[in-house]
Amino acid sequence: MGELRYVSLKQIIIYWCIFVSTLILTSAVVALLININKRKEEARQYPLQIVEIGPDEPDSGVWGKNFPRQFESLSMTEKDSGRTKYGGSEQFQRLDENPRLKRLFAGYSFSIDYKEDRGHVHALEDVINTKRLADKKPGTCMTCKGSQVPRLMREVGGPAEFYKTPFDELIKRIHGEKTGIGCADCHDSKTMELKISRPAFKEAMKERGIDLSKATRHQMRSYVCAQCHVEYYFKGDGKYLVFPWKNGLKIDDIEAYYDEQNFKDWVHPDSKAQIVKMQHPDFELWSTGVHARSGVSCADCHMPYKREGGIKVSDHWVKSPLKSINQSCQTCHRWSEDELKRWVEGVQDRTAKLMKESEIAILDAIDAIKESEAKGASEEELKEARALHRRAHIRWDFISAENSMGFHSPQEAARILGEAIDFARQAQIAAIKTNK
């Protein structure tokens, strides 16, 4: 009898443990579902509509009447968020901080002016004021510089007409003073859903076989950034904007594409090599990194969620995650802010060291080619050395022009810069071998 009572009590204890465990697990699942539903609700949420927002309304201040919290943080992009160790939004002259750039870009406009970008609000203002662009620049140069672009594309008859319309002609069609990147670049005015407003990205993704209509909201939190934070070039006399992604997103794929197109941006005056200038390939490098593979979007780090009272919104003050480590990094990484900052800067320090070694190697190659030509080496004899200079430059510049100092994909950045050094030294040796 005592034994039977003992067994029954034991069973009760087991059943009770199972019940409690089930309750805890159920609560966790319910909490997760609630959080997911909150995020979905946030995506659908449209507050009290104070004003009606027209299609592609360029004035973010109008959107701000309905979305004051988002607009307040977006307006902060007008301010300088301060420098980080390798970037930030303070506008400094890169040519002054790294004189090697003048020789690396000799014969091209980046040897004249190469300033660090400011916040989104200043995008159009800064491209107007840069010394890099000639007076007869095409409309293509405006494509990613302001929320009035979608409207202008419609007004002039579509993307192709927009691209070949002179920049100065398009400027005359700009309304108002606040002309930088704003709400209309990323959001549908009726539904507030994230949208793609730039045709070049749509065309590039279609060529890769990716149907954007099936993109999730989380994917769109990267795709809206990838409309502009990418490598690109102007194709043909019409200066049509193209993303060179036909073969893939890696530097090897992009190089192969440019070789197929026989494309060059300029001929280096010292080496006579045909060079391609890379343009901030942030999306491409990020796509090869651990954050992309882990499902972390651009906005998760650069526009992290924040709470204002009981409301959760994305911070529209787009800036380096190092300026918001608590919101951007500590959501996933349970380290102190100091530890996380040291980790990030450690990765960047290693990348910067490899980048400097790449620059020195490329300059040595340029000098060797120039010297060999002066000693009488023929075009044919220097063909290999010049081709290797092109290969070295395109890899160095892929990382140099990218905005994370390698952090978006540290291993890939190291691989690319290692190849840049190797190709540059091969170019130097190939040139020296021609000496008679």
Question: What is the structure's pLDDT at 91?
Answer: 85
**Cβ atoms of residues 223 and 181 within 8 Å:** no
Distances (CA, A) of 250 to 97, 255, 396: 29, 9, 13
Residue type, 428: Q
Question: What is the structure's pLDDT at 118?
Answer: 87
Q: Which long-range contacts (CB under 8 A, 24 or more apart) does 286-292 make?
A: 286/222, 286/404, 286/408, 286/409, 287/249, 287/409, 288/249, 288/250, 288/409, 288/412, 289/408, 289/409, 289/410, 289/412, 290/409, 291/408, 292/222, 292/409
**Mapping DSSP to helix (H, G, I), strand (E, B) and coil, where does residue 69 land?**
helix
Question: What is the structure's pLDDT at 6?
Answer: 46
The token duo for 74 is: 């977006």
Question: What is the structure's pLDDT at 3?
Answer: 45
How confident is the prediction along the chain (436 residues), in pLDDT tens digits per residue? 444 444 466 666 666 666 666 766 666 555 555 555 555 544 455 556 889 998 888 889 999 999 999 999 998 888 877 888 898 888 889 999 999 999 999 999 999 999 988 888 889 989 988 888 877 789 999 999 989 999 899 999 999 999 999 999 999 998 876 678 999 999 998 888 999 999 999 999 999 999 999 999 999 999 999 999 999 999 999 999 999 999 999 999 999 999 999 999 999 999 999 999 999 999 999 999 999 999 999 999 999 998 877 788 899 999 999 999 999 999 999 999 999 999 999 999 999 999 999 999 999 999 999 999 999 999 999 999 999 999 999 999 999 999 999 999 999 999 999 999 999 999 999 999 998 7
Whole-number Å distance between alpha carbons of 428 and 375: 15
The token duo for 137 is: 């620049």
Whole-number Å distance between alpha carbons of 3 and 121: 79
Distances (CA, A) of 292 to 223, 226, 295, 384: 12, 13, 5, 37
**Cβ atoms of residues 230 and 205 within 8 Å:** no
pTM: 0.87
The token duo for 404 is: 């994370």
Question: What is the structure's pLDDT at 277?
Answer: 97
The token duo for 80 is: 């300088």
Sign of CA dihedral 75, 79, 82, 86: positive
The token duo for 88 is: 């930030």
The token duo for 145 is: 């510089």
* Alpha helices (H) in 227-280, listed in sequence order: 251-261
Question: What is the structure's pLDDT at 135?
Answer: 72
Within 8 A by CB and 6+ apart from 254, the residues are: 231, 244, 245, 247, 248, 281, 284, 394, 398
Q: Could you report the per-residue pLDDT of 238-248, keeping only the tens digit for each?
A: 999 999 999 99
Question: What is the structure's pLDDT at 179?
Answer: 73
With 0-12 / 13-18 / 19 or more C-beta atoms within 10 angstroms meaning exposed / middle / buried, residue 414 is: middle
Rg (CA), the chain: 26
Question: What is the structure's pLDDT at 2?
Answer: 43
